């Protein structure tokens, strides 16, 4: 017989006696509880695909915040107006750095609405259709450049799906090169507020047939801004664009509160 067994048995018996007598208590290690609750969940947010272009390029959307007040900021529905894309990317960075701005809000970012047009430096999509004339507004005109039917293009259908899914309280669509703040629907107050934070004048250009402004602003009654930057802004990097226009976009996000 192994001589170690009697010793082991004795130790086990002693342990049982001590436990029964109350001399031993199991050690209860403290639980680690994360009590930090961020004001808005932004770190885990990622761009997700809401549609694809004619050539299969993804149309990406990012939602930041979880509040009931929703702002949709989008860019580059015309592929030869690219400056809005780095500006929207810079806005996303700013919102991640300042999550308190998202308290009670959700900001939906669509940084490239026409990826094929952007890849080919073209106003139109690959089918030669102006996506900003392809919506189901009452004033639309069927044509080759506007689409033979409303929403004939996958890109415009993706934009429409984003609007129907998120139900934005206001929309900003970034364009070039007309250097003004145009608006459709009940958006005059929003346009004037954004104009306080940049050098662009507020100018009512009128609803174009089948445009996003006509669809969202007139048909759906959503305040929508067509934020027309300068053509030369395409030469600026994201930081320079942010210095020129960042506070105007922040004003749109926090409206009707003033931008900080």
Residue 25 has pLDDT above 70, yes or no: no
The answer to whether residue 115 sits within a structural domain is yes
pLDDT tens for each residue of 234-244: 999 999 999 99
| Residue 101 pLDDT exceeds 70 | yes
Active site residues: 228
Residue 77: give the domain boundaries: 48-254
Instruction: Write the CATH number for 80.
Output: 3.40.630.10
CB of 113 within 8 A of CB of 159? yes
Q: Look at residue 150 and tell me if it is in a domain.
A: yes
The DSSP 8-state label assigned to residue 186 in this structure reads S
Please tell me the total count of domains within the chain. Answer: 1
Domain assignment present for residue 234? The answer is: yes
Question: Is it the case that residue 30 has pLDDT exceeding 60?
Answer: no
pLDDT at 21: 44
Domain assignment present for 140 = yes
Residue 41 or residue 82, greater confidence: 82
Res 44: pLDDT: 58
Q: Cα dihedral angle (160, 163, 164, 170), rounded to 10 degrees?
A: -140
Is 100 domain-assigned?
A: yes
Inside any domain, residue 165 = yes
Q: Please tell me the distance from the alpha carbon of residue 213 to that of residue 27, in angstroms, as a whole number.
A: 67
In a domain, residue 11? The reply is no
**38 vs 152, more confident:** 152
The Cα–Cα gap between 162 and 156 comes to 10
Residue 42: band (very low, low, confident or very high) from pLDDT cuts 50, 70, 90: low
- pTM: predicted TM-score of the whole model, two decimal places: 0.83
Dig out the tokens for 220 from the structure.
Answer: 């759906």
- pLDDT of 183-198, one tens digit each? 999 999 999 999 999 9
Tell whether 9 is covered by a domain.
Answer: no
């Amino acid at each position: 017989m192994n001589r170690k067994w009697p010793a082991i048995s004795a130790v086990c018996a002693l342990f049982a006696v001590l436990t029964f007598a109350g001399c031993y208590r199991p050690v209860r290690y403290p639980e680690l509880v994360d009590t930090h609750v961020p004001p808005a969940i932004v770190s885990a947010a990622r761009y997700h695909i809401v549609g694809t272009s004619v050539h299969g390029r993804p149309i990406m959307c990012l939602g930041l915040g979880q509040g009931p007040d929703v702002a949709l900021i989008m860019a580059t529905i015309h592929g030869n107006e690219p400056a809005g894309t780095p500006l929207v990317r810079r806005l996303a960075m700013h919102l991640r750095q300042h999550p308190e701005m998202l308290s009670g809000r959700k900001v939906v970012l669509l940084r490239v609405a026409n990826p094929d047009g952007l890849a080919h430096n073209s106003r139109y999509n690959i089918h030669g259709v102006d996506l900003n004339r392809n919506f189901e507004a009452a004033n639309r005109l069927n044509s080759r450049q506007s689409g033979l039917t409303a929403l004939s293009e996958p890109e415009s259908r993706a934009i429409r799906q984003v609007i129907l899914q998120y139900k934005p309280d206001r929309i900003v669509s970034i364009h070039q090169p007309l250097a003004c703040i145009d608006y459709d629907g009940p958006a005059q107050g929003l346009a004037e507020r954004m104009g306080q934070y940049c050098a662009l004048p507020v100018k009512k250009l009128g609803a174009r047939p089948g445009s996003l402004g006509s669809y969202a602003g007139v048909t759906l009654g959503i305040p929508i801004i067509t934020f027309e930057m300068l053509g030369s802004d395409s030469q600026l990097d994201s930081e320079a664009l942010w210095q020129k226009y960042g506070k105007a976009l922040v004003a749109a996000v926090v409206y009707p509160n003033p931008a900080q």
